[in-house]
Amino acid sequence: MADQNNERPRFAICINHGGYPESLEPLKIYQVLPDPEAAKHGQLRIIDESGEDYLYFESLFIRVDFPASVEMALSQAALSQH
């Protein structure tokens, strides 16, 4: 789902669960929500395994820029899971 600024959804791949194994799965793609304040502190707002958004350290992820068609498909898949 795109944010209120009509930007494409953003995604990141988890590379380390960082002590949150029930919330994050390494090698899984997660949707990143815009949060400029969190970014100032090296954090990302991630929709995790609970289906809710939480802040995690950016170092636990690699940001990925997919083509628009892939991001659309990932967003639709995420919506169908909730």
What is the tens place of the pLDDT at every residue in 47-63? 999 999 999 999 999 99
Sign of CA dihedral 55, 47, 62, 1: negative
Tell me which of 1.10.3470, 1.10.287, 2.20.28, 2.30.30 is the CATH number of domain 10-81. Answer: 2.30.30
Domain chopping of the chain, boundaries: 10-81
Q: Region 30-58: what's the mean pLDDT?
A: 96
29-51 residues labelled b (16+ CB within 10 A) or e (exposed): bbbbbebeebeeeebbbbbbeee
Asked if the model's pLDDT at residue 3 lies above 70, the reply is: no
Question: Which helix (H) or strand (E) is 43 found in, with range?
Answer: strand 43-47
